[in-house]
Chains A and B, each alone.
Chain A
């Protein structure tokens, strides 16, 4: 009995101290195919620098489970070195006073020059870097099945007016024009693209970044809402609750002609053996060719109790921004490197176009954070705004006017 007690005690101590000095513990939810491969690459690079990688992977795509696990660890005073946190959530964690500064690394590596200012601002809390970005997803893409368009004798739309002409032609030919997944975040993703296409980037900035109440209930917003609702007859009845990848596979299998979705959809096309430019087209969502809504994954760094661990954490930050990691990770994930001036020759046409547009829009000031993906608003505000959009889409008795008033009210939620 006594012996058992001693060994139990020993075991519990060894668990308690297994997070020792040189470990770099990273919380992430890269558990699906390509993402997991990328995580292994990161591990290799970090171990080459003499650190021990400690994996803290929590399954669940949107990261809700991971965030719950993270809260528990931070409350108990044992945060991981880094965690996958993005957008204004970085500010929310910053407000809790648990994030570590990366300023010395950023200065040495010249992050201010490597990152567009819009992106750099997201990574900073009160002026100092607290997070390292890993990739850029473009959200305002329209994925097109060119064979179906040819069958209906329709053009690839570049404006919303053209879109409705194309959609009508497709419907006449007996083809479902738009693949749609009816989940609140997908409603928000599509609406975001519509609003940007209808109102332009200044309107987008005023409405969704500055949350200006007059813009949110303006005539432009009502027009955006009306246009968005006009899409509904071109979707099918089974859309509510459908996952985004099932909607993508409708385009792949020729059951629907188009989908509005971020570039993670490309992974589905490629996995199905389709070739960009031939079997499927990636074009900017109608009316948004000159703008770019981005969704950036990043790792926020937590304050750690000892110096050795801090060293590992800083090396992790350097590795995340290194050209080698940025290339291999983004080739696997379907996104593009956030680091500027990279060689894009290994990327496919969609990736190359995305990188060009990223640079061009950054110079023009039309590089915009995607609010549907948590890059522009705090999670509470974003949730409230997405609720209105979802309700408007699903409730046929609500008018665009009413929805715009509700939007202005939702934007006040803090």
Chain B
């Protein structure tokens, strides 16, 4: 009698405790994330200007958005930035990780030095690089002072090239982080496989290319996920480095959204542009989550 009562109590706790513990954070997430996404989605179909206004207008805000030249500059910049930021960040990060993996002296110190930029906020990175890339203050002036008067590097103030300066600062900040992720992955690769490959006479580059990097597929994907969402929502870096300028030549969708919704009284257009950003993120994340979750099920 007493044991069954205890069992029942235990069973109750086992069944309800996890749900109770998770409920508050679940509800908060549900409301403050998905609730607001729905709210924003609704706003993008309304006539909202200065303040939210619930009068329905259909796809008019999207039409305004798609006819806006500045939006397309922002989209193009996002693709340039995301492509180069992810590509170069990954390449440099993996390279650094492989070099550091060669059992060299002072690895701890070097690792910290490479990882340190990640500890800075994008605002600090942006401001620092703004000074370094400014032709009258930074690199170009330094070279001129050293006597190389032909040297020019004015991408920051050139509307054709300004987005590439954002790439430079972004890659500088993130490649150390990519290195740390890959280094952890490299350390997790089973030594005996490497030994077997060495005995078979495989060269070191070949071992990396054919055995180690394929084994790091999961690390590769999680890094890709992290970098691509940083790229899509990048706002602070652009704001601090170029302010979206010269003109609006280095605008990205996030800065575009802010300008429309908060400074120009076009909240509907701002909401529509953030829905487009959400769609971009979803296009990346959903297939990934799908493959991940299905993979696990098959594995069981």
The residues of A with any CB-CB pair to B shorter than 8 Å are 62, 64, 67-68, 71, 74-75, 89, 92-93, 95-96, 182-184, 187, 236-241, 378-380, 382-383, 387, 390-391, 393-395, 406, 413
Contacts and interface: CB of A to CB of B under 8 A. Distances in A.
28 contacts: A64-B262, A64-B263, A67-B262, A74-B51, A92-B49, A93-B50, A96-B50, A96-B51, A182-B246, A183-B243, A184-B247, A237-B135, A237-B157, A238-B136, A239-B157, A240-B157, A240-B246, A241-B157, A241-B246, A379-B263, A383-B259, A387-B247, A390-B247, A390-B248, A393-B246, A394-B245, A394-B249, A406-B69
Secondary structure class of chain B's binding surface, majority of residues: loop
Contacts of B51: 71, 74-75, 96
A391 B130 CA distance: 20
A373 B245 CA distance: 19
Interface in B252-280: 259, 262-266
A238 B135 contact: yes
Nearest to A412: B67
B188 interface: no
B50 A92 contact: yes
In order of increasing CB-CB distance, the 4 nearest A-B pairs are: A238-B136, A390-B247, A394-B246, A394-B247
A184 B245 contact: yes
A96 B134 CA distance: 44
A395 B247 contact: yes
B-side interface size class: 20 to 34
Contacts of B243: 183, 241
B169 interface: no
Contacts of B249: 391, 394-395
B63 interface: no
B248 A391 contact: yes
A161 to B, nearest CB: 28
A240 B49 contact: no
Contacts of A394: 159, 245-247, 249
A89 B49 CA distance: 11
Secondary structure class of chain A's binding surface, majority of residues: helix
A76 to B, nearest CB: 11
B265 A380 contact: yes
B134 A238 contact: yes
B173 to A, nearest CB: 20
Given A95-B50, A406-B69, 12 more contacts: A62-B263, A67-B262, A71-B50, A96-B50, A96-B53, A182-B246, A183-B245, A184-B245, A237-B157, A238-B157, A379-B263, A391-B247
Contact of A379 (B53, B136, B265): B265
Interface string B51-94: 11100000000001000011000000000000000000000000
Interface in B100-158: 130, 134-137, 154, 156-157
Nearest to B265: A379
B44 interface: no
Contacts of A95: 49-50
B265 A68 contact: no
A68 B267 CA distance: 12
B264 A241 contact: no
Contacts of B69: 406
A241 B248 contact: no
B246 A390 contact: yes
Contacts of A67: 262-263
Contacts of A387: 70, 247-248
A390 B263 CA distance: 17
Interface of B: 49-53, 64, 69-70, 130, 134-137, 154, 156-157, 159-160, 242-243, 245-249, 259, 262-266
A389 to B, nearest CB: 9
Contacts of A96: 50-51, 53
B262 A380 contact: no
A393 B265 contact: no
A131 to B, nearest CB: 15
Contacts of B262: 64, 67-68
A249 B65 CA distance: 39
A241 B246 CA distance: 7
B237 to A, nearest CB: 14
Given A92-B50, A387-B247, A236 B263 contact: no
B266 A380 contact: yes
A378 B247 contact: no
A238 B245 contact: no
Nearest to B258: A64
A406 B69 CA distance: 10
Nearest to B267: A71
Given A74-B51, A237-B135, A390 B245 contact: yes
B45 to A, nearest CB: 18
A31 to B, nearest CB: 18
A89 B265 contact: yes
Nearest to A383: B264
A378 B49 CA distance: 11
Given A240-B156, A240-B246, A379 B264 contact: yes
A100 B262 CA distance: 24
A62 B246 CA distance: 19
Nearest to A92: B50
A380 B154 contact: no
Contacts of B159: 391, 394-395
A241 B245 contact: yes
Contacts of A64: 262-263
A405 to B, nearest CB: 12
B156 to A, nearest CB: 7
A280 B130 CA distance: 32
Contact of A236 (B70, B130, B136, B246): B136
Contacts of A71: 50-51
Interface centre among A64, A93, A239, A391 (most CB of B within 10 A): A391
A92 B247 contact: no
B48 to A, nearest CB: 10
A240 B246 CA distance: 6
A156 B136 CA distance: 28
Contacts of A93: 50
A368 B49 CA distance: 26
